[in-house]
């Protein structure tokens, strides 16, 4: 039976008859669905959020950087079904899970979304299907969640049903890399599982990177993001050192980056944001404890990065004091609320704790971010308004803080109108008397 089911799956894929189901229609699921649609696959998109399903079905993009025309084309296609009914997976050959994996309040992995999605598809599974998880998890998590469930249903994984892990590598707002040209790492529970998953993903992207197991693929994803976290932690610490020495860290990075080997440029900022870099390292530190390993290096980088909003606050207080102003009752505008420029994603954005702390200190705070029209379940203190960044609104502030350096901001005009600029992104030269580097 093993060869029969795998051969049927392969034949459907080669004949472009494979039907793909994507569970979780967010920052990862929607771009993946658009890529499969572009290639002519029949698709079922499933999300438990009725409002999101309604918006997508109406051709409305819930995410700013995903073009509405693309979502509209998806919703109008006869080969695409968007639903909140998980029984729809009965009709698909592959089920790809793209659901959130946040942290609990205790900074432990929250696998509830993965487990919930698995339980919802469980009654509707059939022989011959491939299940692939893309959400970031700790090594062994895919097996823990799915293997027992499939065996309880009477399936033999690798023979009559297939299980794989292939971590998402979505970078919102990146104009150079998307699903079609970003290599895809893939590991299966068995050799056949991995082979079928690699074949499927080879249709989506120009390069698939097979690894020996799901655990290897899971750890690969964590290494990618921990690598960034650690290096950003290093450069953030270097920024603080350089500032004390009255050296421009951005000048130093630019000079160091001219070395053609052995150096990769990372840039400091006000703290880490997004769903990956601030969260993923804790998935490994939590799992490592099970093996008696204390991940000191990873945790230290996390501590440095987590401390950066407080560092920014200290620079704001110092800058205002230098202008004879106390932070209490000062008017402060935060430029940019999303966690990175040119997108609308506010998850884990350092702008939020900066705003909260300024509010606690008695400042009159507002922010300006034309990308952010929906907080997507995140909250700011009462009374914090999103205002347009104009010469008038800037001139009314005692301090402007560049937290997220969207390209649409008119930085020369801001410099002319502002009394004081706290620059966390290196947009301004240190020699500008209005600018305090943070």
CATH number at residue 81: 3.40.50.720
Residue 421 placed within a domain: yes
Identify whether residues 301 and 203 lie together within a single domain: no
Question: Average pLDDT, stretch 164-193?
Answer: 94
Q: Tell me: do 187 and 282 sit in the same domain.
A: no
* Rounded CA separation 37/56 (Å): 14
Q: What gap in Å lies between CA 4 and CA 122, rounded to an integer? A: 22
Domain boundary among 212, 238, 271: 212
Which one of 159, 180, 212 terminates a domain? 212
Residues 259 and 192 in one domain: no
Q: Tell whether 14 and 107 lie within a shared domain.
A: yes
In a domain, 6, yes or no: yes
Residues 6+ apart with CB under 8 A from 322: 436
Residue at 292 is within a domain: yes
Return the pLDDT at 376.
Answer: 76
- 219 falls within a domain: no
First-to-last C-alpha distance (Å) of the chain: 63
Q: Give pLDDT tens digits for 116-138.
A: 999 999 999 999 999 999 999 99
Annotated catalytic residue 276: yes
Averaged pLDDT for residues 46-58: 95
Residue 369 has pLDDT above 50, yes or no: yes
Q: Is residue 342 part of a domain?
A: yes
> Distances in Å between the alpha carbon of 203 and those of 93, 99, 183?
15, 22, 12
Same domain as 190, residue 76: yes
- Residue 49 class from Cβ within 10 Å (0-12 exposed, 13-18 middle, 19+ buried)? middle
pLDDT-derived band at 329, boundaries 50, 70, 90: confident
Average pLDDT, integer, range 194-221:
97
192 part of a folded domain: yes
pLDDT tens digits, residue range 271-321?
999 888 889 999 999 999 999 999 999 999 999 999 999 999 999 999 999
pLDDT at position 431 is: 83
Quote the pLDDT of residue 1: 44
371 in a structural domain: yes
- Mean local confidence (pLDDT), 156-176: 94
Range with lowest mean pLDDT among 89-98, 270-279, 349-358, 364-373: 270-279
Local confidence band at 206 (pLDDT 50, 70, 90 cut-offs): very high
pLDDT at residue 213 tops 60 = yes
Give domain status of residue 227, yes or no: no
Task: Using the predicted structure, report yes or no on whether residue 335 has a pLDDT greater than 70.
Answer: yes
Stronger pLDDT, 97 or 175, i.e. the higher one: 97
CB neighbourhood size of 72 (10 A) = 15
Q: Are residues 291 and 388 in the same domain?
A: yes
Quick one: 327 and 398 in the same domain?
yes
This prediction's pTM: 0.93
266 with 204, same domain: the answer is no
* 3-state SS record for 64-130: CCCCHHHHHHHHHCCCEEEECCHHHHHHCCEEEECCCCCECCCCCECCHHHHHHHHHHHHHCCCCCE
Q: CA 185, 134, 188, 15 torsion: positive or negative?
A: negative
Q: Kindly report the number of other CB atoms within 10 A of residue 171's CB atom.
A: 17
Where does a domain end: 156, 191, 212? 212
Q: What is the mean pLDDT of residues 72-100?
A: 96
d(Cα 107, Cα 397) in Å, to the nearest integer?
Answer: 37
> Would you place residue 379 in the very low, low, confident or very high pLDDT band (cuts 50, 70, 90)?
confident
Q: With 90 as the cut, is the pLDDT of residue 65 above it?
A: no
The total domain count for the chain is: 2
**In 300-378, at which residue ranges do the beta strands (DSSP E only) sit?**
331-335, 364-368
* Residue 64 contacts residue 343 (beta carbons within 8 Å): yes
3-state secondary structure of 381: coil
The average pLDDT across 327-344 equals: 95
**323 shares a domain with 188:** no
Residues 268 and 382 grouped into a single domain: yes
**Cβ within 8 Å of residue 133, ≥6 positions away:** 96, 97, 114, 142, 145, 146, 164, 165, 166
> Quick one: pLDDT band at residue 3, thresholds 50, 70, 90?
low
Range of the domain at 33: 2-212
The active-site residue, picked from 98, 198, 276, 399, is: 276
**pLDDT value at position 275?**
80
Q: Are residues 157 and 256 in the same domain?
A: no
Shared domain check, 270 and 204: no
CA distance 353 to 339: 12
What is the rounded average pLDDT of the residues 132-160?
97
């Amino acid at each position: 039976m093993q060869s029969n089911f795998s051969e049927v799956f392969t034949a459907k894929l080669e004949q472009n008859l494979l039907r793909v189901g994507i569970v979780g229609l967010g920052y990862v699921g929607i771009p993946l669905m658009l890529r499969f649609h572009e290639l002519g696959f029949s698709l079922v998109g499933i999300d438990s959020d009725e409002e999101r399903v309604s918006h997508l079905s109406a051709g409305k993009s819930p995410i700013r950087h995903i073009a509405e025309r693309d979502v509209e084309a998806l919703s109008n296609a006869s080969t695409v079904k968007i639903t909140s009914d998980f029984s729809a997976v009965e009709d698909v050959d592959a089920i790809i899970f793209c659901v959130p994996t946040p942290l609990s309040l205790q900074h432990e992995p929250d696998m509830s979304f993965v487990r919930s999605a698995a339980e919802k598809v469980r009654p509707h599974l059939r022989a011959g299907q491939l299940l692939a998880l893309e959400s970031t998890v700790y090594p062994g998590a895919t097996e823990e969640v799915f293997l027992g469930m499939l065996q309880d249903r009477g399936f033999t994984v690798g023979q009559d049903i297939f299980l794989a892990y292939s971590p998402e590598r979505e970078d919102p707002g990146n104009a150079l890399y998307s699903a079609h040209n970003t290599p895809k790492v893939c590991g299966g529970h068995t050799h056949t599982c991995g082979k079928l998953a690699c074949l499927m993903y080879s249709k989506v992207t120009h390069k698939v990177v097979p690894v020996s197991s799901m655990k290897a693929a899971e750890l690969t994803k964590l290494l990618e993001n921990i690598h960034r976290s650690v290096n950003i932690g290093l450069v953030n610490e270097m920024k603080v050192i350089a500032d004390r020495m009255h050296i421009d860290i951005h000048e130093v990075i630019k000079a160091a980056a001219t070395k053609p080997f052995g150096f990769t440029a990372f840039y400091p900022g006000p703290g880490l944001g997004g769903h990956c870099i601030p969260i993923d390292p804790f998935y490994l530190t939590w799992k490592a404890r099970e093996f008696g390993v204390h991940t000191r290096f990873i945790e230290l980088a996390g501590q440095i990065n987590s401390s950066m909003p407080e560092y920014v606050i200290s620079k704001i207080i110092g800058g205002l004091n230098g202008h004879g102003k106390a932070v209490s009752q000062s008017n402060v505008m935060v430029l940019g609320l999303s966690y990175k420029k040119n997108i609308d994603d506010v998850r884990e954005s350092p702008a939020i704790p900066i705003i909260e702390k300024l509010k606690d200190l008695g400042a009159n705070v507002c922010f300006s971010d034309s990308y952010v029209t929906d907080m997507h379940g995140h909250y700011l203190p009462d009374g914090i308004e999103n205002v347009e960044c104009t010469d008038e609104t800037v001139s009314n502030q005692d301090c402007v803080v560049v937290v997220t350096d969207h390209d649409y901001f008119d930085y020369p005009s801001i410099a002319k109108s502002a009394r004081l600029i706290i620059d966390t992104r290196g947009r301004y030269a240190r020699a500008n008397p209005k600018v305090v580097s943070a």
